[in-house]
Amino acid sequence: MHVELRDIDKTFGKVHANANISLNIPPASIQGILGENGAGKSTLMKIFSGFYTPDAGQILLDGEAVSIRSPADAIRHGVGMLHQDPLDFPPMRIIDDFILGREGGLFPNRRAAAKEFRELAGRFDFSLDPDAYVDTLTVGERQQLEILRLLWLGARILILDEPTTGISLPQKEKLFATLKKLAAEGMTILFVSHKLEDVEFLCDRAAVLRQGELVGVAEPPFDTRQLVEMMFGKEVPLAPKKKATPGAKVLSVKAVSLEDVRLQIRGVDLHVRAGEVIGLAGMEGSGQSLFLGACAGLTQPVAGSFCLDEDERDMTGRSHHDFKKEGVAYLPAARLEQGLVPGLSLTEHFVLSEGMRGLFIDRKRAESLARERISLFNIKGAPDSLVEALSGGNQQRALLALMRSPLSLILVEHPTRGLDIESTIYIWGKLKERCAQGTAIVFISSDLDEILQYSDRVLVFFAGQVSPPLRADSLNVEQLGALIGGKGWESLHKEAVNA
Amino acid sequence: MRDTPSRRALFQIGAVVLALLITTVVLMAAKAPPLAAYSNIVLGALGSWDVASNVLVSWVPLLLVTSGLLLTFTVGLWNIGIEGQVTLGAIFATWALRDLGSSGWSPTVIIVVAVLAGMAGGALWAMLAGALKTFGGVNEIFGGLGLNFVATALNIWLIFGPWKRPGVASMSGTLPFDQSLWMPTLNPQSRLSLITVAIAIVAIIAVYLMIQGTYFGLRLKAVGKNPKAAYLLGIPTWQHMMASFALCGLFAGIAGAIQVTAVYHRLIPSISSGYGYLGLMVAMLINYKAAFAAPVALFFAALNVGSIQLPIVLKLDSSLAGVLQGTLVLFVLLGQGLRQRVLKKSQVGS
């Protein structure tokens, strides 16, 4: 089916997620959609598949304008979307999951459906047992199930959102073979990814989005340099940094392996020194959050150890509160969900974080503490302001203000995400003050400029792989962008020697 | 539309009016004269010093369980197992009274020990629900409900088994205790003990101060509103949940012990009398604010006692009080929900 997206526009509050995007996709082809986090890829695909309604714009299928207002509308027009996290029903049997969403009839005909399921699975060489439960499947198999389901529902356009995250190499090869076969049979496929290699290997064309805009379209043979530049923008020359003089060891990560549902990280080694800033770069969900949480004792490693301070005290297996007592602070990205308590005032937060003791709250002391911190951190709010009433930037300042002193290590996720320039500069000023006092900082950011500007060393995460520590001053945005997209990992060990 | 105190009051009054309306419809469906029914409830609750003192007898356990529940609600838990905790309090108090009755100790000491035993029983049962949640991953609502049934079964077994009356076991409970072990009442005819009223008042004031003014109360609030952030702020979360369970159980246990020593003077099958569930309704109705617990619990107690008249005078079932209480809670909650929707809409609109 021929797909045309015409002038699609969508804003969320102040964010212009899609700005007049137009795309033309011929039938029987695989269209790559590239872009970093927040570039607008998912928004565009969710509009196409009926999850969001666009503010403006048109969708044309085979030249005819269609109105897609819900996912059910989308599948009626033959548009099926495979979400990054498969939208299936883990406690159900595969066959029941399969027939969900099919219209008609009070009682589903399981036997007929199972027969069709087997035929369909056989066509693509998928080995799925219709009577097994969905939660016994791997992410890759759940994708296969979802593809079969969408095909059975009559999808003629398939959208895949980051489908190669969390699946094994053989599963990826099988997925790619399936997609090529489907495209050859006339299916139109939209392949959303930040992995350059996958797009270069698979796609007949690639469109690149950045900050809600379509910045360019490329055709094979793809030029990696050009794609990276389109994804991340031109390099901005930055002011030269002062060279940090690293102090004593603060955190030693020794051969640490971590696991969660989607990811496995193997054998990470890192020594963080006092006053040093380490940036963790990578697309969201590449393992950096898992790693940072483990450094704070929030998740336990499956192998290896975490040690603190020069004498390398082993903290493996200890709780976050033990880490906290040793001077490790952890600042989560979701400020209002994880960092602050909605419904409590700033004063109450300071009382809690200082661990004030006694029976009755010393209101006077609490309020003077709050006033002092509010002015010190320039928070726009009163002691009795509820935290949810503060702006994002002020919430982030409050999080910083809640940190105790002294600290040996600050672990922070996305310190400036969603903040304006003024707040960004302010937050980093405060963090750098801590560094000057000998605190080390490890932070996650998806902003490459931020990583390069503030880090002394950088770890790059890609699908659970972790690079050796790289010196930030030997990297540029282009190299870093390529690494995040999974390119250029072979030459890494050479550079690590220099670091 | 802005959220002003007068608007909030409007929704509350609306809820009360609607609840009365629905109850009136129920009455008319039962072919009963609504006005006569309401006036009988008022008379039944306030008509004489005797019935009014019965309202206080009912108020004491209700206020005690509500006090306890305010703590578990503050930490974000639904302690539906409160019924069982009251029952266990009664069982432990009975146990102490039976065991120490012939010990020769002074009756005052025995009664004090019985109340302490009741507190221990209630706390034990509550911590069982807490342990199931913390270490077994059992939702406290399901765990509590299950434990309620176990508590009832245990109670019946004791009454018809080990603690049965000499001769024949009876639904009317165990043999009454020696009169010296009864909590002292105003006069021999009355069931009202001023000591128990004092205990209930102290309980609600203690809970109010705990939630409003102490570090412990603030930490409970933080855990209740956002356990993840509370943990990152350095608060041991599950320990606070267990502590609030234990405290709530203490209050429920006192209520159970009072029912045994001051009201029934024996253990009866339905010793908790539904006060636990009624306490949940009171807590919801006052939006978990301790300051309103005493008057609203008094109102509910008055409805309960007042409706006892109905079967005698109007041949109506006394469960009418339950209809009124239930619809009242429903409409107040509905009002809160609607108010929030209206607020949200007007915010989006502006």
Specify whether the CB–CB gap between A213 and A55 falls below 8 A. no
Q: Chain A window 320-339: which residues touch B at a Cβ cutoff of 8 Å?
A: 320-321, 324, 330, 332, 337-339
| Three-class HEC string of B20-86 | HHHHHHHHHHCCCCHHHHHHHHHHHHHCCHHHHHHHHHHHHHHHHHHHHHHHHHHCCCCCCCHHHHH
Angle at A320 between CA A316 and CA A322, to 5 degrees: 75
A342 — contact with chain B (CB < 8 Å)?
yes
Specify whether the CB–CB gap between A477 and A449 falls below 8 A. yes
| Three-class HEC string of chain B | CCCCHHHHHHHHHHHHHHHHHHHHHHHHHCCCCHHHHHHHHHHHHHCCHHHHHHHHHHHHHHHHHHHHHHHHHHCCCCCCCHHHHHHHHHHHHHHHHHHHCCCCCCHHHHHHHHHHHHHHHHHHHHHHHHHHHHHHCCCHHHHHHHHHHHHHHHHHHHHHCCCCCCCCCCCCCCCCCCHHHCCCCCCCCCCCCHHHHHHHHHHHHHHHHHHHHEHHHHHHHHHHHCHHHHHHCCCCHHHHHHHHHHHHHHHHHHHHHHHHHHHHCCCCCCCCCCHHHHHHHHHHHCCCCHHHHHHHHHHHHHHHHHCCHHHHHHCCCCCHHHHHHHHHHHHHHHHHHHHHHHHHHHHHHC
Stretch A130-153: mean pLDDT, rounded? Answer: 87
CB contact (8 A) between residue B228 and residue A358:
no
CB contact (8 A) between residue A356 and residue B221:
no
A13 — contact with chain B (CB < 8 Å)?
no
CB contact (8 A) between residue B215 and residue A320:
no
Cα distance between residue A139 and residue A137, in whole Å: 7
DSSP annotation of A386 reads: B
Distance from CA of B139 to the nearest CA of A (A): 19
Task: For A20, list phi and psi in degrees, rounded to 5.
Answer: 45, 60
Give the confidence band of A11 by pLDDT, cuts at 50, 70, 90: confident
Distance from CA of B230 to the nearest CA of A (A): 7
- Residue A53: partners with Cβ closer than 8 Å, 6 or more residues away: A47, A69
Specify whether the CB–CB gap between A194 and A283 falls below 8 A. yes
CB contact (8 A) between residue B215 and residue A353:
no
CB contact (8 A) between residue A361 and residue B233:
no
Nearest of A445, A447, A498, A441 to residue A469 by alpha carbon: A498
A364 — contact with chain B (CB < 8 Å)?
no
pLDDT tens by residue, A40-84 = 888 899 999 998 999 999 999 999 999 999 988 999 999 999 987
CB contact (8 A) between residue B229 and residue A338:
yes
Q: Which amino acid is at A451?
A: I
Helices B215-225, B49-74: crossing angle, 10 deg rounding: 70
Query: Given A321, A351, A352, which is nearest B236 (Cβ)?
Result: A321
Residues in A closer than 8 angstroms to B218, CB to CB, are 344, 348, 351-352, 361
Query: Given B218, B228, B230, which is nearest A351 (Cβ)?
Result: B218
- Residue A279: partners with Cβ closer than 8 Å, 6 or more residues away: A443, A444, A445, A450, A451, A452, A454, A455, A457, A458, A459, A472
Distance from CA of B306 to the nearest CA of A (A): 39
Query: Given A332, A342, A355, which is nearest B232 (Cβ)?
Result: A332
Cα distance between residue B236 and residue B75, in whole Å: 12
Cα distance between residue A444 and residue A292, in whole Å: 8
CB contact (8 A) between residue B232 and residue A339:
yes
Q: Tokens 């209206």 sit at which residue?
A: B342
Size of the A and B interface in Cβ pairs below 8 Å: 64
pLDDT tens by residue, A101-119 = 776 667 778 888 889 899 9
Residues in B closer than 8 angstroms to A407, CB to CB, are none
Specify whether the CB–CB gap between A282 and A234 falls below 8 A. no
Write out the two tokens for A48.
């196409």
Stretch A408-433: mean pLDDT, rounded? Answer: 86
DSSP annotation of A388 reads: G
Cα distance between residue A465 and residue A478, in whole Å: 19
Residue A237 pLDDT: 46
Query: Given B221, B225, B232, which is nearest A338 (Cβ)?
Result: B232
Q: Which residues of B touch A (CB under 8 A)?
A: 209, 213-216, 218-219, 221-222, 225-226, 228-236
Q: Does A13 score more than 80 pLDDT?
A: no
Specify whether the CB–CB gap between B273 and B259 falls below 8 A. yes
Residue A193 pLDDT: 86
A107 — contact with chain B (CB < 8 Å)?
no
A267 — contact with chain B (CB < 8 Å)?
no
Specify whether the CB–CB gap between A368 and A375 falls below 8 A. no
Residue B350 pLDDT: 38
Query: Given A330, A355, A359, which is nearest B232 (Cβ)?
Result: A330
Query: Given B209, B216, B226, which is nearest A341 (Cβ)?
Result: B226
Low-confidence spans in chain B with pLDDT less than 70:
1-3, 344-350
Structural domains for chain A: 3-232 (3.40.50.300), 249-327+405-498 (3.40.50.300), 341-403 (no CATH)
Query: Given A339, A352, A357, which is nearest B218 (Cβ)?
Result: A352
As a whole number of Å, the end-to-end CA separation of chain B is: 10
